[in-house]
Amino acid sequence: MDISTKPVFSFSLNYKVFEKLVTCGKYDGIHSCLTMVTTADKILIHTPHKRYGLQNSKLSISEIKNDIALLNMNFPIRAIVAGRLKKDDERDILVVGSPSHVLAYHVDENCNMFQRDFHEGVRSAVIGSYASNPGNTLVVGGNAVVRGYNHDGTEVLWLITAGSVVALLLIDIDKDGQNELIVGTDDGCIRIYKRETLLHEFTEGNEIQNLVALRPGQFMYSVKNGTIGMFEENVRMWRIKSKARATAMATYDILGCEAKQMIVGWKSGKLDVRDPRTGDVWFRMKMADFVCGIACNDYRGIGLLDLVIVTADGEIRGYTTPNVNMLTLHNIAEEEMSALLTQKQKLLLELKHYENNIKYNKEILSSTSESNLVQSVPDNVGIIPSNTRLQIGISTSYDSNDMNIDITVSTNNSTTIRAVLIFADQLFKEETLIAHLTKDVSRILIPLKTLKDNAQDIHIKAFVGYPSSVQFHVFELTRQLPKFAMYTIPHNLTGSPKSVSYINTLRMKDGPGGCYVEFRISERLKRICIWVNQNFLLPSDIEYMTSDADATELKLNLISLRTAKSVCLHFSYDGKTRFYTEDIGLAGDLVQSLVQFLNIDNMNSTACFPVVYDEVRDLFQKLQGLQDTEKQINSEIVEHINQIKSHLIRAEDARYYNGEDVIKYHNEMMATNEDLVKSYKIRLVNTNEIQQALKRIHGILYNASRLRAGTFAAAMIGRFKEALKTNNIDAVLKIIELGEM
């Protein structure tokens, strides 16, 4: 649309700003202050309506502009957020997250409210009302863990998840009057929690970078690969892929149409205003640098919210809601008519091609055999027989040297395939695979391997013609890949359905092993067969036939196409169910898929994973050693700092009394400083190893909780928390095994 708007204010701070480290708060309860992270581990607070007179080692006033205050943090900053924590205090608190701790800082009083260790490393933070907690809650995300704190720093929430938590959002998704917590992780998952219970889980193709509330029950998201989209409750309404990456998102009525629009800032420097219902772009703006953050606040102090945009080079632009509807200022009917005329021209051209194809089919095919068709038709005419069909086959191959999912694309006649394009959001690194053939064939086989067990749609386009064709027909088809397509029966079976009794006779080379999860369900084997057929890519379907009336169990022996290891699913007629696998994550995925299909609300299980138990013991021992090393390094750093202070004092004294010793003390101070830098580097490596160990431990505990459903899974989280507080390894292993202490 031909729409333009001008900023109501624009200026430059002349400071570099970092992506996603921008927020806005009313630290005195009245005036809005723009807050952002700049170089040298400093936080810049732009205060156009207030001057901070207090000044100490942490807060200082800029020498360039007196409306800029700088906070010297002296540690790497990973997340910042501003908001009210105290119920009876109108002043916002600035929360700063680092790789080792989280700090709640009272800017107006220039003091710390509380500081808590966060060994998992802070990656994101949000402040708001959560569940039935009194007042607001500070929710902090790190490596595979989410913690919540009240106004005095007391921990009121503890969740474990898979992957690092890089985006958080508090929103009433089910419209019950209480906010739910939406978690975005670097493994491409969006999870919705209600208190400690996981409500929904969605998978995207890459790291989730932004989560923004649209209205109750609706939220927007952006992915690192350039995808943006919108969910309404647990349904994805739309999704759009872009070449650039979205760096910031917000909602604001910049068009004056009494409804908020999507504001999306991109790495390319563009700023989009989109229709939240469809994702269509209404108009774009171009910034000098990419957008680091977008805030909505009363920045001018006139009682109206402004849209404040911050770029990487420190440029600030503010926009306000216009008094007139910008959408009505231009002729929408003309735009729609122009779009319809363009579409009409495309359809007419397509119709012309179809008419030419029909013409040649009638005139030439009636007197020419298909084998001579290519010689009878000019090269610039893309004619193919009217009965040409594209056939798609998806199967598995499990030879020792070839264990893949095979996609076969073929035609039903002598036409050839020049190229095949396969699009799948989570299947390929760049989301698209193009197979361009150097020779003319009517059948092509494309081997694939999925990295994760996710159901996904595969969109296939094939260029079909003849060897001498210049123009090709494009066939488009969509097929769905089941969730557990990478697991198959290692036997040659025909395509006809097989009975349960026949499947039970198929054995494996290796036994089921000693790792399993066991639980009970009240369901018929016929329903179990339906679940298997929907979620696995087997050579033939499994049907509960009349000959299976006496069958008391279903033993499905599978092999993993990734690891070549055995996976056995054992369903008994009395409801006893066992899944044999060494992968506790796969066991959790199988359990969750089955309970969702059978609509089971609550279910406990018994787990036996000796390999995982050994890994947990090794991780706890490694973690204990790393923590002891950290204490030793910290004491050495304190000792080095004290030595440097002593050398400095002696050098100053020598300057007055014995000038010959000045150089000596300075050299000693430089040597000690080098030792101090080495200690800092060692501590950094040690801290990273601690975070990786904690992340793996939390990942195992999260997978263990997925072996249960409903209240049993939620109760495990609290038990894990109590066991981890005392480093009770035996209690942790017992909870993994039985779901309780």
Task: Kindly report which listed range (209-213, 652-656, 717-721) carries the lowest average pLDDT score.
Answer: 652-656
> Is it the case that residue 55 has pLDDT exceeding 70?
no
The predicted pLDDT at position 79 comes to 95
Same domain, 84 and 168: yes
Tell me what percent of the residues of the chain surpass a pLDDT of 70. Answer: 91
Lowest mean pLDDT among 66-75, 576-585, 630-639: 66-75
Q: Based on the domain organization, do 615 and 724 belong to the same domain?
A: yes
In a domain, 304, yes or no: no
Range of the domain at 421: 390-479
Q: Is residue 275 part of a domain?
A: no
How much of the chain, in percent, has pLDDT values that exceed 90?
44
Whether pLDDT at 326 is above 80: no
**Inter-residue contact 686 to 625 (CB < 8 Å):** no
Q: Are residues 677 and 617 in the same domain?
A: yes
Q: Are residues 465 and 501 in the same domain?
A: no
Domain-located, residue 520: yes
Q: In this structure, is residue 603 part of a structural domain?
A: no
Closest CA relative to residue 672, chosen from 698, 709, 647: 647
Query: Where residue 219 sits, what CATH number does that domain have?
Result: 2.130.10.10
Indicate if 550 and 682 belong to the same structural domain: no
Which of 72, 36, 69 minimizes the C-alpha distance to 50?
69
> Is the per-residue pLDDT at 177 higher than 90?
no
Which among 216, 241, 266 is the end of a domain? 241
Buried b (16+ CB within 10 A) or exposed e, 287-300: beebbbbbbbbbbb
540 and 524 both lie in a single domain? yes
Our count of domains for the chain comes to: 4
pLDDT-based confidence at residue 170 (cuts at 50, 70, 90)? very high
pLDDT at 509 over 80: no
Residue type, 234: N
Same-domain status, 106 and 232: yes
Q: Among 479, 513, 529, which residue terminates a domain?
A: 479
Q: Is residue 494 part of a domain?
A: yes
Both 491 and 456 in one domain: the answer is no
CB 111 within 8 Å of CB 103:
no
pLDDT digits (tens, 9 = 90+) for 683-713: 989 988 998 998 999 999 999 999 999 889 9
Q: Of 350-364, 448-462, 590-604, which range is least confident?
A: 350-364
Does 219 lie in the same domain as 81?
A: yes
Show Cβ contacts of residue 734 under 8 Å, excluding neighbours closer than 6 positions.
740, 741
Q: Is 335 within the bounds of a domain?
A: no
- The beta-strand segments (E) located in 400-442 are 402-411, 416-423, 432-441
Strand order in the sheet with 218-223: 208-215, 218-223, 227-232, 235-241
The total number of residues shown for the chain amounts to: 741
pLDDT value at 139 more than 80: yes
Pick from 327-336, 427-436, 592-601: least confident = 327-336
**Same domain, yes or no: 496 and 442:** no
DSSP string, 524-560: -HHHHHHHHHHHB--SS-EE--GGGTT--EEEEEEEE
Evaluate whether residue 47 is within a structural domain. no
Tokens 């051209």 label which residue? Answer: 349
**Cα–Cα distance for residue pair 264/226, rounded to 1 Å:** 11
Quick check: 182 pLDDT over 90? yes
State the alpha helices, DSSP H only, in 364-490. Answer: 373-376
pLDDT band at 363 (very low <50, low <70, confident <90, very high): low
d(CA 108, CA 524): 65
Would you say residue 674 has pLDDT above 70? yes
Is the torsion defined by CA of 544, 548, 552, 558 positive or negative?
negative
Q: How many CB atoms lie within 10 A of CB 29?
A: 12
**247 within 8 A of 235, measured Cβ to Cβ:** no
pLDDT at position 540 is: 87
Q: Is the pLDDT of residue 97 over 90?
A: yes
Higher pLDDT, residue 228 or 134:
228
Dig out the tokens for 581 from the structure: 């696998």
Task: Band the pLDDT of 657: cuts 50, 70, 90.
Answer: confident
End-to-end CA distance of the chain: 62
Average pLDDT of the segment spanning 20-35: 91
Same domain, 92 and 206: yes
* Tens digit of each residue's pLDDT (9 = 90 or more) over 8-22: 999 998 899 999 999
The overall pTM is greater than 0.75: yes
Q: Count CA within 13 A, CB hemisphere, residue 284.
A: 9
Task: Please give the Cα distance from 347 to 402 (Å, whole number).
Answer: 45
Question: In the prediction, which pLDDT does 330 show?
Answer: 57
Above 60 in pLDDT, residue 589? Answer: yes
Say how many C-beta atoms besides its own lie within 10 A of residue 67's C-beta. Answer: 16
The CA radius of gyration of the chain, in Å to the nearest whole number, is 32
Angle at 411 between CA 405 and CA 415, to 5 degrees: 135
Residues 517 and 663 in one domain: no
Single out the residue in 443, 458, 479 at which a domain terminates.
479
Q: Could you tell me the two tokens for 365?
A: 């095919």
227-236, 336-345, 419-428: least confident range: 336-345
219-223, 280-284, 376-380, 656-660 — which is least confidently predicted? 376-380
- Give the domain CATH number at 440: 2.60.40
Whole-angstrom Cα distance, residue 691 to residue 696? 9
Write down the mean pLDDT value for the chain.
86
Q: Is residue 499 part of a domain?
A: yes
